[in-house]
Amino acid sequence: MNLLIKYVVMTIISCMYVELIGYLSHRYIIHEGIIGDSIRVTHYCHHEKKYPYNNFESKIYRTAHDTWPWILIIIIFAYIPIYLLFKLNIYDKYVMIYLLLLTTLHLIFISYIHDSYHIKNHWLNKYEWYKNHKKYHHIHHLDDKNYGITNYFYDHIFNTFSDKIVPKKNNFNGLEASCDDRIKSLDFISNWHFI
């Protein structure tokens, strides 16, 4: 296979895989709490305390320090499998390095786009595609829909996409918590924002 085609195919597969990890973890781990509430409370703080549906934007990003669960999820479901596939001689070290860098850049991009949705007058607001995605993310803060961040491909596949503004629902299956309830020992990981 031509080297360029090989890397294009790997890029597409990697991006779709990272988006799938993001979708499944956002829906089932972060919102539904299938592995408990410890991780979910950090995202609850983002949804219900820092950016409730009626105060969705601010002049500067008000962090809920909820980035670290995503980093742990990427380490477990992306970085470790990439390394294990290398150790099994599925590909060489150059492919492994490429996939690790691509995954990291994808995570940074997703984080940047997500944080930008919550910033008033963000420079991307001049683009129609961005305004639509921002609306879909606002709907996510209202309803158990739109778990994607930079695209909603898997929301369409799993029938969780919506473009309709609805009255606020409880997106965390009855969870009630405060920002003080979240795990704070890894806050330093969440202090980087690129806006």
Within a 10 A sphere around the Cβ of 98, how many other Cβ atoms? 17
Residue with tokens 């601010």: 58
Q: Is pLDDT larger for residue 181 or for residue 2?
A: 2
Structure confidence at residue 187 (pLDDT): 54
How confident is the model over 172-177, as a mean pLDDT? 78
Within a 10 A sphere around the Cβ of 100, how many other Cβ atoms? 16
pLDDT digits (tens, 9 = 90+) for 136-172: 999 999 999 999 988 999 999 999 999 999 998 887 8
Residues sharing a CB contact under 8 Å with residue 138, sequence separation 6 or more, in sequence order: 53, 56, 117, 165
Which strand (E) or helix (H) includes residue 39? helix 37-44
Q: Are 30 and 43 in contact (CB under 8 A)?
A: yes
Structure confidence at residue 48 (pLDDT): 85
Reported confidence tier of residue 194, pLDDT bands at 50, 70, 90: very low
Structure confidence at residue 45 (pLDDT): 83
Within a 10 A sphere around the Cβ of 187, how many other Cβ atoms? 14
* Helix, strand, coil in percent for the chain, rounding step 5: 65, 0, 35
pLDDT digits (tens, 9 = 90+) for 68-112: 778 888 999 999 999 999 999 999 999 999 999 999 999 899 989
Reported confidence tier of residue 44, pLDDT bands at 50, 70, 90: confident
Q: What does the mean pLDDT of the chain come to?
A: 87
What are 190's two structure tokens? Answer: 């969440």
Distance between CA 34 and CA 21 in Å, rounded? Answer: 15
